[in-house]
Amino acid sequence: MDKNKKQGILFIIGAGFCFALMTFFVRKAGDLPTIQKAFFRNVVAVFVAFVLLLRSKQGFRIQRGSIPGLLARSFFGTCGILCNFFAADHLHIADASMLNKLSPFFAIAVSYVILKERANAVEWLSVVIALVGAAFVVKPTGGVTTLYGLVGLAGGLAAGLGYTFIRYLGKRGERGPVIVLWFSLFSCLATAPALIFDYHPMTGEQFAFLMLTGLSATGGQLCITKAYTKAAARDISVFDYSQILFAAILGWIFLTELPDVYSWIGYVIIIGTAIAKWRYMLWKDKKEKEV
């Protein structure tokens, strides 16, 4: 395994821990509108990314031709955040995290169109099996819980599209803090109008939890951006599922949440599929090197 892949794995595990904390802090922020939570989550990221770029040698300069990719990453990333936060407020945080972590499977599909990274039959099969696992987590019965699950699933799709554009921008040589700044600023501007007309007063505790949400999200965003600029999704995406473990532990210890048996079946199917696909890709790469 080359150096870039090893670094990508470490960064993506770090992102998993940060995003699990983000989901936990979002829940602890209490009964606030999803858009309000998303706005404050991104305000922190804007500040951190701005400072990082201000102190860099290249400043705020972007690569020629990157603007369409930056806008696409920002749009889909914002949709993903709104869906994920909404799901986190209404589902177990482990369930919400699992649905969001379907993004690598969706990334396989859209990478073929956007990046021309061709997927084989095994990778396409993994996408289908992962969706079967998602059905166990969503539990489609037609009730309100199903609606929340479908919103979480949509968040996973949007995140997959967003991560594909991160990979696209990384291949063009775009820097991580630039991607984060554009995404976070776009999200703030997109959610600001709704926040102005429907602002809910917050307690000091709620504000503190939203700041912690923003800090952990920024750490996760920087890590995930670095990870996908280091290696392709098919090489490192399986380690993104470390977030589920971190989220389950946080939910169990601090929120007394225990997913039901159907959710556990879904977890096993999705994570098992991800591990099987990853091991297949390692075997395939080894065979190709031997030829």
For residue range 111-123, list pLDDT tens digits in order: 777 777 777 788 7
Give the contacts of 141 (CB within 8 A, at least 6 positions apart). Answer: none
Can you tell me the mean pLDDT for 185-203? 92
Alpha carbon distance 156, 104 (integer Å): 8
Mean model confidence pLDDT for the chain = 87
Can you tell me the mean pLDDT for 222-239? 78
Nearest to 145 by CA among 137, 155, 134: 137
Task: Give the model's pLDDT for residue 242.
Answer: 85
Give the distance from CA 193 to its chain's centroid. 24
Min mean pLDDT across 70-84, 98-112, 200-214 is at 98-112
How large is the greatest C-alpha to C-alpha distance in the chain, in angstroms? 64
For residues 187 and 35, is the Cβ–Cβ distance under 8 A? no
Report which of residues 290 and 129 the model is more confident about. Answer: 129
Copy the structure tokens of residue 161.
């599209």
216 pLDDT band, cuts 50/70/90, is very high
Can you tell me the mean pLDDT for 235-239? 77
pTM of the model as a whole:
0.81
At residue 63, φ and ψ (nearest 5 deg) are: -70, 145
pLDDT above 90 covers what percent of the chain? 33
Task: Give the model's pLDDT for residue 185.
Answer: 95
Nearest to 171 by CA among 66, 71, 15, 59: 66
Task: Give the model's pLDDT for residue 241.
Answer: 82
Residue 143 has pLDDT above 70, yes or no: no
Copy the structure tokens of residue 249.
């532990």
Task: Give the model's pLDDT for residue 82.
Answer: 94
Alpha carbon distance 227, 176 (integer Å): 10
Can you tell me the mean pLDDT for 209-235? 84
pLDDT above 70 covers what percent of the chain? 97
Task: Give the model's pLDDT for residue 287.
Answer: 77
Residue 127 has pLDDT above 90, yes or no: no
Q: pLDDT tens across 44-84, in order?
A: 989 999 999 999 989 999 988 899 999 999 999 999 999 99
Residue 291 has pLDDT above 80, yes or no: no
For residues 290 and 62, is the Cβ–Cβ distance under 8 A? no
Alpha carbon distance 102, 2 (integer Å): 26
Alpha carbon distance 278, 272 (integer Å): 10
Residue 213 has pLDDT above 70, yes or no: yes
Can you tell me the mean pLDDT for 265-275? 88
Residue 256 has pLDDT above 90, yes or no: no
Task: Give the model's pLDDT for residue 37.
Answer: 93
201 pLDDT band, cuts 50/70/90, is very high
Q: What is the DSSP letter of 134?
A: H
